Chain A
Amino acid sequence: MNEEITSLIREDGLRLDGRGLHELRPISMQTGVLDRADGSCYLTWGNNKIICAVYGPRELHPKHLAQPDKAIVRVEYRLATFSVEERKSPAPRRREYELSKILSESINNVIFLEKFPNGTIDLFITVLDADGGTRCAALTAASLGLADAGIPMRGMITGCAVGKVDGKIVVDLSDIEDKEGEGDMPVAMIFNTGELTLLQCDGMLTPEEVEEGLKLSKTAIGQIYQMQRKALLAKYSQIEEQSDELDEEEE
């Protein structure tokens, strides 16, 4: 933990965790995990562990926030106190407020909000274990939770961070690459249309590097999008199996 990190890319050209420059960490997704939420998703991404609960469309309180022509989206992104190196106080910090806001703006874009005037769709996302790239993972989990809740959307949002580490553009930064690297660029898009719903950057990148990063992120997002599809299909094929069993019993 206290060792001096001299280089984030090893002599054999691989990264500290043994990944290639454009390789994703292992990702798993599971929908419908919470009994009481309308939709939910548990996602692991490397050592990130993220749980998302979706409620709605439902009645909005306080009423003065209501919009007569559409629903609003409220997102609460939180870090668990034990998810980070130094214990985080349970009270939200500025970073959590900012992320909640940009996540909600990103999600706003894909939901047919006009179908639910005066209502709200509430998302609660908690990072249980943090390992870099939590906002992209959170958005990926959020769209699965929304789909699981049956909320009509015009596309799935998928996120993946890219960044610059030891002068090279790499995909899916780990915690240490995020902290010690030269730049971090979280990207989220609706893969099918290529529309970016979230784009941030901190660190120093040339315009060419940004372009390369966007290209790499699109490829990675394509892979993750396929995993999202599979996770959703897995839930419904399970239901199909159960209903088949029921049919057989009846016969």
Chain B
Amino acid sequence: MRSEEIISSLERKYLTDLLTKGERMDNRDFWEGRPIQIIPNVIKKAEGSAMVKWGDTVVLAGVKVQLGSPFPDTPNDGVITVNLELSPISSPSYESGPPGPVAVEMARIVDRGIRESKIIPMNDPKLCVIPGKTVWILFVDVYILDDGGNLIDASALAAMAALANTRIPKVSIDEEIEEATLLDETEPLPRKGCVASLTYAKINDIIVYDPNLIEDRGKIARFSVAITDGGLICSMQKGESGVFLEEEILNILENASSQVKELIKIIEETSQVTELGQMFQFDF
């Protein structure tokens, strides 16, 4: 059981001594990720959902959809918003209340990855129901259930997997009075491709992929990159007070570009297994 937000000097020494010897505390290589499992369609009331177990991190994402007004500057686009709850369920370090800076930053990293990759075509006629008036609003809510480190990648994966399994109601439009009525039938959310996030932690001068909880807390700097199935980098974020050198970033990007394929494959596999209305059970 880990309870401290910071790590003790002893633990930091153990962590860095191991890294200097070329080892990690869970026996992984520096560039090796932990095992990942995605369970899609786990929440009945949600239009799309997925649970992600990433090492011992557990994250649940759900998508709710509702009809609403578009933003005035994008009258023909649907709306997507990502919210992230870092609840005390996941760790004694977190307190209840509205999302703090840590949760907001993570939510925005996940949001940017999805938004900038344009994998959800917001101007698709299925999302823009009545141009300038009625569009679908997609709420992606990510709940961290167990914080075992690297929440950004687990959250991004859960959000992506939930969207890949989202079905939205069909609508009939009355052109004269410009009103949309929801039908019972649903259709898959339009989607063009896939995006995944990869996060690297710098501990002293050593960089590792997919930090576990202790590495996460012992890191001096963090770098996250989101890459599409087409190999395009669509978002990057450096975090914490430490620094990276240009060479280090280029190494990370090269590694991420090859590792992302495995993540994309897992997402595509889970989005194919779900049939209409099929629900899955999860345990811990």
A residues near B, CB below 8 A?
1-2, 30, 33-38, 42, 44, 47, 49, 51-53, 55, 58, 76, 78, 80-87, 90-91, 122, 124, 126, 128-131
Contact = CB atoms under 8 A, between A and B. Distances in A.
Name the prevailing secondary structure of the B interface residues.
loop
Contacts of A42: 283-284
B85 A82 contact: no
A33 B66 contact: no
A91 B96 CA distance: 11
A128 B60 contact: yes
Interface residues of B, number: 39
A89 B281 CA distance: 25
A33 B284 contact: yes
B92 A55 contact: yes
B141 A90 contact: yes
B145 A51 contact: yes
Contacts of A130: 45
A82 B148 contact: no
Contacts of B190: none
B139 A124 contact: no
Most buried by B among A37, A42, A55, A82: A82
Contact of A34 (B3, B141, B143, B284): B284
Contacts of A36: 1-3, 90-92, 146-147
A51 B45 contact: no
A129 B1 CA distance: 27
B1 A83 contact: no
B66 A34 contact: no
B266 interface: no
Contacts of A90: 83, 85, 98-99, 141
A81 B87 CA distance: 13
Interface of B: 1-3, 42-46, 49, 56, 58, 60, 62-64, 66, 83, 85, 87-92, 96, 98-99, 139, 141, 143, 145-148, 182, 184, 281, 283-284
Contacts of A131: 44-45
Contacts of A55: 88, 92
Contacts of B90: 34, 36, 53
Nearest to A3: B184
A86 B89 CA distance: 24
Given A36-B91, A42-B283, A51-B145, A81 B62 contact: yes
Given A35-B148, A90-B83, 13 more contacts: A33-B283, A35-B56, A36-B92, A42-B283, A44-B281, A53-B88, A58-B92, A81-B62, A82-B46, A82-B139, A83-B43, A90-B85, A124-B96
A124 B85 CA distance: 13
B147 A91 contact: no
B108 to A, nearest CB: 15
Contact of B66 (A35, A83, A87): A87
Nearest to B64: A87
The interface centre, meaning the residue of A44, A53, A80, A124 with most chain B CB atoms within 10 A of its CB, is A80
Contacts of A128: 43, 60, 143
Contacts of B284: 30, 33-34, 42
Ordered nearest first, which 7 A-B pairs have the shortest CB separation?
Answer: A82-B62, A33-B284, A87-B64, A82-B46, A53-B89, A81-B141, A129-B43
Contacts of A38: 1
30 contacts: A2-B184, A30-B283, A34-B146, A34-B284, A35-B2, A35-B56, A35-B148, A36-B1, A36-B91, A36-B92, A47-B45, A51-B89, A53-B89, A55-B92, A78-B87, A80-B60, A80-B143, A81-B64, A82-B43, A83-B45, A86-B64, A87-B64, A87-B66, A90-B99, A126-B89, A128-B43, A128-B60, A129-B45, A130-B45, A131-B44
A81 B45 contact: no
Nearest to B44: A47
B256 to A, nearest CB: 27
A87 B48 CA distance: 12
Contacts of A126: 87, 89, 143
B63 A82 contact: yes
Contacts of B88: 53, 55, 76, 122, 124
Given A42-B283, A124-B89, A81 B139 contact: yes
Contacts of B87: 78, 124, 126
